Amino acid sequence: LAQLYAASAQPREADREYRAAARAASIGKVDYRYARFLASQNRMDEAVRAHERSRDSEPGNLQNLIALSDAYLAVRRDADAEEVYRAMTERYRGPFGRLRAIPELTDWEIGEAYVGLGEAALARDNLAVAERTLREGVGILAEFWRQRTLEIAVIRVRPETRKRSADRY
């Protein structure tokens, strides 16, 4: 219901329903969707808190982690965004990255995390780290791009996700 209200340009009603949903089901997906709504309303501090609650509930939700990093950057908490990126890339190098839910698809969010780390290194003029992490990110995004025509990708990857990953690549 909250999403319908949001799509119908009824933000007060949407906010009320998102809050009711969060009280009824304290799960990561509810907090993630509420956070996305809050960000669309330019309520970034609240969006950060909702994304953090989602991360606490579902620490492996890559979409939320990227959105949390975006929210941190929007409120100028660059070090926090970098820490999220770092945690994502460390998990990717471990069992979490080797045992993916859909092994046929590369997780574009990990490529995004590497690009975020590379951009942070560039901001600090650490060119060696920037080059290494940007190359890693571009490699992952390139693999995701090559997979874009697979039937599983066509079914599972939303157009806005495809566009964002292509823009970053």
Convert the pLDDT of each residue in 70-101 to its tens digit: 999 999 999 999 999 999 999 888 776 666 65
pLDDT, greater one: 87 or 164: 87
- End-to-end CA distance of the chain, in Å? 35
pLDDT at 97: 66
Output the pLDDT for position 90.
93
Provide the token pair at 121: 């290194």
Q: Return the sign of the alpha-carbon dihedral for residues 100, 66, 169, 110.
A: negative
Look at residue 154 in the predicted model and tell me its pLDDT. 82
**pLDDT-based confidence at residue 162 (cuts at 50, 70, 90):** confident
Two structure tokens written together for 3 = 């999403």
Count of positions (residues) in the chain: 169
pLDDT band at 3 (very low <50, low <70, confident <90, very high): very high
Instruction: Write down the pLDDT at residue 50.
Output: 96
At 103, is the pLDDT very low, low, confident or very high (cuts 50, 70, 90)?
low
Q: 53, 31 in Cβ contact below 8 A?
A: yes
Distance CA 135, CA 117 (A): 11
Cα 44 versus chain centre, distance: 15
Per-residue model confidence as pLDDT tens digits over 29-76: 999 999 999 999 999 999 999 999 999 999 989 999 999 999 999 999
Is the separation of the CB atoms in 21 and 6 below 8 Å?
Answer: no
Q: How many CB atoms lie within 10 A of CB 156?
A: 12
Please name the residue ranges forming H helices in 25-77.
28-40, 44-57, 62-74
